[in-house]
């Protein structure tokens, strides 16, 4: 067969196909007309005049088409926005659920359930979030400070006494306030603090010095899986914090597994599972009333089996059974330690900033039972007591690792003293 022959064959084939398409298209148009006629008939049946029914049918179809198109564009825009912020590492870690029964004898064969997409929030800067979160403290602290310093009067010991009261009211704590006041007094004596602005600068420097003295950065790369245990009394924000942490670390490309060791109420594990779905990470849970240490055991096994980078264990916090609670914490620690060398590599105590000085009492209590490596201070957005962060660093000599400045998934930030002090001091 020569080239001319094959070209002719190809041509006739193309012609045939075109005829099919044209007749198919005509058929489609006829079918469409038929549909519109049927729709117009329905409209007539509903009382639309005969001469208007067909044009109304066309108009309604046109409006529906536009709405569908608008919806599609909106969905596509949302999908592309969420993809932009997503790190490549996703959808690899489905939810894991281990029932109490399964635990007996076969701890490391967790059942796998559905996968869930990650949810992203509107991006606003870390600093903005922190500033918004600390707005109440800023307003209270600097509203009062400005009232004292703004009069233009000479700075003297009386001014410092007034500052002392302001600091105590912002929950800097008596001892920390004393420390700050002594430092201010010394600057005054040395003649370094004669103007209002110098007082602000001095206060900023002294607060930053206290906060910086306890900062540390955990080396999460040093262990695999790196195990974090989150403890604290009921309602301080443990589960929410674990959820936020899981989400953020997952977004950074870490493979995270969560352990729901608060087995006191079924709702507690369900809350964590919901966070797990949201963050798209696996959750190991048992049924209500199960031994929290058994959850820790299974979670550790699952983290090893799945080669997770991180295991975060959420715990219960019922203080009315204080002794039991502390024993429970110790047992969970022991189990984790036995399964993963050096675990938990970080034990973080969650404290609610709105509870003020009571949080310090809680910290001392927990410290007696388990070694605490750092603090997560939550709900700083809901209080004018941001001074708590300084009191913790100063009185407990414990670093604040993260702060919670809202209920959103991005409202948990690693604690950076400089950023914190800037956010606290910057005028709005
Ligand atoms: N405003 C605000 N609320 C928070 C923050 N962290 C947690 N919460 C809320 O505190 C409540 C108790 O949190 P939950 O995680 O259940 O506490 P848990 O009992 O310690 O596990 C929930 O309503 C959370 O949304 C925060 O940083 N800011
Ligand atoms: Mg909880």
Do the beta carbons of residue 237 and residue 268 sit within 8 Å?
no
Mean pLDDT of the chain: 83
DSSP calls for 125-185 = -HHHHHHHHTHHHHHHHHHHHHHHHTT-PPP-HHHHHHHHHHHHHTT--HHHHHHHHHHHH
For residue 307, pLDDT over 50 is answered with yes
Separation of CA 212 and ligand 2 centre (Å): 30
Calculate mean pLDDT across residues 349-368.
88
CB of 131 closer than 6 A to ligand 1?
no
pLDDT band, very low/low/confident/very high, at 218 (cuts 50, 70, 90): confident
Reported as a single tens digit per residue, the pLDDT across 219-241 is 888 899 999 999 999 899 999 99
CB of 234 closer than 6 A to ligand 1?
yes
CA atoms within 13 A on the CB side of 35: 9
Q: Residue 164: what pLDDT? A: 93
pLDDT band, very low/low/confident/very high, at 123 (cuts 50, 70, 90): low
- Choose which residue among 229, 329, 407 to substitute to test ligand 1 binding: the one with the highest number of ligand atoms within 8 A of its C-beta: 407
**Pairing verdict, β 400-404 and 374-378:** parallel
**CB contact set of 392 (below 8 Å; sequence gap of 6+):** 351, 359, 360, 363, 375, 377, 398, 400
Do the beta carbons of residue 315 and residue 293 sit within 8 Å?
no
Cα 367 to Cα 318: distance, rounded to the nearest angstrom:
16
Question: What element of type H or E holds 228?
Answer: strand 226-231
Q: Which of 83-97, 314-328, 332-346 has the lowest mean pLDDT?
A: 83-97
**CB contact set of 165 (below 8 Å; sequence gap of 6+):** none
Separation of CA 172 and ligand 2 centre (Å): 27
Q: Residue 100: what pLDDT? A: 34
* Core vs surface per residue 215-254: b (16+ CB within 10 A) or e: eeebebeebebbbbbbbbbeebbbbbbbbbbbbbbbbeeb
Q: Residue 118: what pLDDT? A: 39
Cα 387 to Cα 371: distance, rounded to the nearest angstrom:
24
Separation of CA 315 and ligand 2 centre (Å): 7
Reported as a single tens digit per residue, the pLDDT across 263-298 is 988 888 999 999 999 999 999 999 988 999 999 999
More confidently predicted of 360 and 128: 360
CB of 354 closer than 6 A to ligand 1?
no
Cα 350 to Cα 374: distance, rounded to the nearest angstrom:
9
């Amino acid at each position: 067969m020569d080239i001319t022959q094959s070209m002719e064959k190809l041509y006739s084939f193309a012609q045939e196909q075109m005829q099919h398409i044209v007749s198919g298209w005509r058929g489609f148009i006829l079918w469409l007309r038929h549909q519109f006629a049927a729709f117009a008939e329905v409209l007539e049946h509903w009382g639309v005049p005969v001469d208007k029914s067909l044009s109304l049918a066309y108009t309604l179809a046109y409006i529906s088409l536009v709405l569908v198109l608008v919806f599609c564009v909106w969905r596509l825009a949302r999908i592309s926005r969420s993809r932009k912020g997503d790190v490549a590492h996703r959808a690899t870690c489905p939810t894991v659920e281990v029932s109490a029964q399964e635990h007996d004898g076969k701890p490391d064969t967790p059942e796998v359930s559905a996968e869930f997409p990650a949810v992203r929030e509107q991006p606003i800067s870390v600093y903005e979030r922190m500033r918004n979160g600390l707005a109440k403290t800023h307003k209270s602290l600097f509203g009062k400070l400005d009232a004292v310093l703004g009069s233009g009067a000479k700075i003297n010991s009386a001014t410092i006494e007034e500052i002392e009261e302001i600091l105590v009211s912002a929950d800097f704590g008596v001892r920390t306030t004393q420390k700050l006041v002594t430092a201010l007094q010394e600057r005054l004596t040395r003649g370094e603090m004669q103007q209002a602005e110098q007082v602000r600068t001095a206060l900023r420097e002294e607060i930053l010095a206290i906060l910086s003295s306890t900062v540390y950065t955990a080396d999460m790369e040093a262990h695999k899986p790196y195990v974090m245990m989150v403890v604290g009394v009921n309602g301080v924000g443990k589960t929410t914090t674990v959820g936020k942490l899981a989400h953020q670390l997952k977004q950074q490309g870490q493979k995270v597994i969560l352990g729901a060791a608060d087995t006191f109420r079924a709702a507690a594990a369900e809350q964590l599972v919901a966070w797990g779905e949201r963050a798209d990470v696996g959750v190991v849970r048992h049924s209500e009333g199960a031994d929290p240490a058994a959850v820790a055991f299974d979670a550790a096994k699952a983290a090893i089996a799945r080669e997770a980078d991180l295991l975060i264990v959420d715990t219960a916090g019922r203080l009315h059974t204080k002794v039991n609670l502390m024993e429970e914490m110790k047992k969970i620690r022991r189990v984790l330690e036995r399964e993963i060398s050096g675990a938990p590599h970080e034990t973080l105590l969650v404290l609610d900033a709105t509870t003020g000085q009571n949080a310090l009492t809680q910290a001392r209590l927990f410290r007696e039972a388990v070694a605490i490596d750092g603090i997560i201070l939550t709900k700083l957005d809901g209080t004018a007591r941001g001074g708590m962060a300084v009191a913790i660093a100063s009185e407990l000599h414990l670093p604040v690792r993260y702060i919670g400045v809202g209920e959103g998934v991005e409202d948990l930030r690693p604690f950076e003293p400089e950023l914190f002090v800037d956010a606290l001091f910057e005028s709005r």
